[in-house]
Each structure stands twice: as C-alpha cells, then as structure tokens.
Chains A and B, each alone.
Chain A
Amino acid sequence: MGLFDGLFKKKEDGIIIGSPADGECISISKVNDPTFAEEILGKGIAVIPQSDKVAAPADGIVTMVFPTGHAFTMETKDGVELLVHIGIDTVKLEGKFFTKKVSDGTQVKKGDLIIEADFDQIKAAGYDTTIPVVVCNTADFADVQSVAEGTVTTAQDVIKIQK
C-alpha cells in the first residue's frame, strides 16, 4: 500500500470493504447457509479464515458486537452497514470460543482486531468457520460487487460498492 493506492481509490469513487481475516475469499453463494447464500441479508463475500483474528473490514463504528461474540455489525464512515458473521450457526455456541475485543459503539480503523475466535475448537465442535461479510443496506447502493477470489490477507480489498 503506497500513496498512490489511496489516490486511485478516490478517483474511482467506489467504497472499498476489506477482508475481516487472513484466509480464502469465496463467493457468498457458496456459503453453506441459505440465509447468506441466497443474499437474504444482502450482498457480500465470505472468507474461510486461516488465523484466529477477526478484524474490522472498514473504518467506522462497531454498532453492535453480539453478546455471544459470534458476529458484529458496523456502520462505516461512508454509511455502509456491515454484518460480519463468524462461522455458520455459531450462535448455538453461546459465546464459547469467541473473545470480544471491543464494545458496542467503538470507533475503529480497518484492520483493527474486533473478535478473537478459536477456530480449531469451533471446527472440533462441528461448525463451519466460514465468515460471511454482508452489506445489510445493499438496497441503498447502485452496486455491490466482490473484487477478490482466493487467498486474501486482513484488510485486503474484497468488496467494491458504488453509491
């Protein structure tokens, strides 16, 4: 990331959302849960994580960390409402294996650690660890598209949004 990256992004006039984790970025349609795969919650992407750190995908305010730590919501400085859902059906773990690192209302920067998840334990408990990242207010934008597939690192561009 250099000076010119910032300049080019501004010129393109799109809003960029980053990956919440190191891992493999996949199409949300491949998520093993129709709520996400059929885009009922909105458009987005998903990341199969390879480390235990789940980070903010953009600058903004963490509007809510679920009491169970399995998901959080954010409003970015550009008005994008994001849901980051860690694992599939992990609400049923009732907080086990998730450690919240920020509280509701915290102002964060892209890449800041939000939740630590013990993915080995989550997998051992029989859960899919895929992390869908959803633009909840998809209808407020002209276009929401995935711009990554395959290996990604935290904060790497994964979604591009046009106002």
Chain B
Amino acid sequence: MKQFTYKVTDELGIHARPAGLLVKEAAKFQSSIKIKNGTKEADAKRLLNVMTLAVKQGNTVTVAADGADEADAVKTLEAFFKANL
C-alpha cells in the first residue's frame, strides 16, 4: 500500500465538481483507493462516497492506494490534489 496526505487549500473544499474529477482520475487505476477525512473513509471511485466526506478547506486528507498500480495511482492523485484542491 502507498499513501500520501494533503491539506486542502481550495476555499470551497471537495464539492461536486472536484469530487467528480477526482473519481474520474481514481477510476483509471486498478488499485483500491481510499480517502480518509478524520474518522470518515470513502472509496475514491464512488462519487457519492467522496462527497459524503464533506472535505472543507483546511482539512487534511489521507489518500491510500492498494494494488498493482498503487505507485502510479498515488503519484497521479497527489498531482491532482495539488492542481485542483
């Protein structure tokens, strides 16, 4: 398993649009990908799950990938978070 943490700087947090784009990125990988915000955890490939995390500006999330392409997944998603959130 590989993971990274990221502190969300976008003032609107992960609302519908970034959640949708994030799910699209995550779906490109075979690995199972989880996002954690505090005590809540979501499957990064399921939009409703990701939105239910209600990630706000200033929250630190942990993204963990587990599977054959976990290294690529973590690299791509970390770049996505930096660029969009």
* Interface residue ranges, A against B (CB under 8 Å): 33, 35, 40-42, 63-64, 66-67, 71, 73, 75, 81, 83, 85, 91-92, 136-137
> Are the CB atoms of A91 and B16 closer together than 8 Å?
yes
B68 proximity list for chain A (CB < 8 A): none
A85-B48 contact, Cβ under 8 Å, with A40-B24, A67-B54: no
Q: Is the CB of B16 within 8 A of A85?
A: yes
Cβ contact within 8 Å between B52 and A64: yes
Which residue on chain B has the smallest CB distance to residue A38? B20
B54 touches A40 (CB 8 A): no
A146 to B69, CA, bound (A): 37
**Chain A's nearest CB lies how many Å from the CB of B68?**
21
B54 touches A35 (CB 8 A): no
Closest 7 CB pairs of A and B: A136-B47, A41-B20, A81-B48, A35-B17, A40-B20, A91-B15, A64-B52
Number of interface residues of B (CB under 8 A): 14
- Majority-rule SS of B interface residues: helix
Let me know if A73 and B48 touch, CB within 8 A: yes
Residues 20-42 of B contacting A (Cβ, < 8 Å)? 20-21, 24
Main SS class of interface, A = mixed
Cβ 8 A contact of B15, one of A63, A66, A81 = A66
- Closest residue of chain A to B50, judged by CB? A136
Task: Indicate if the CB atoms of B16 and A83 lie closer than 8 Å.
Answer: yes
Residue pair A83, B48 in contact (C-beta under 8 Å): yes
Q: Are A64 and B54 in contact (CB under 8 A)?
A: yes
A81, B54: Cβ atoms under 8 Å?
no
Tell whether B51 is near chain A: CB-to-CB under 8 Å: yes
Bound CA–CA A92/B21 (angstroms): 18
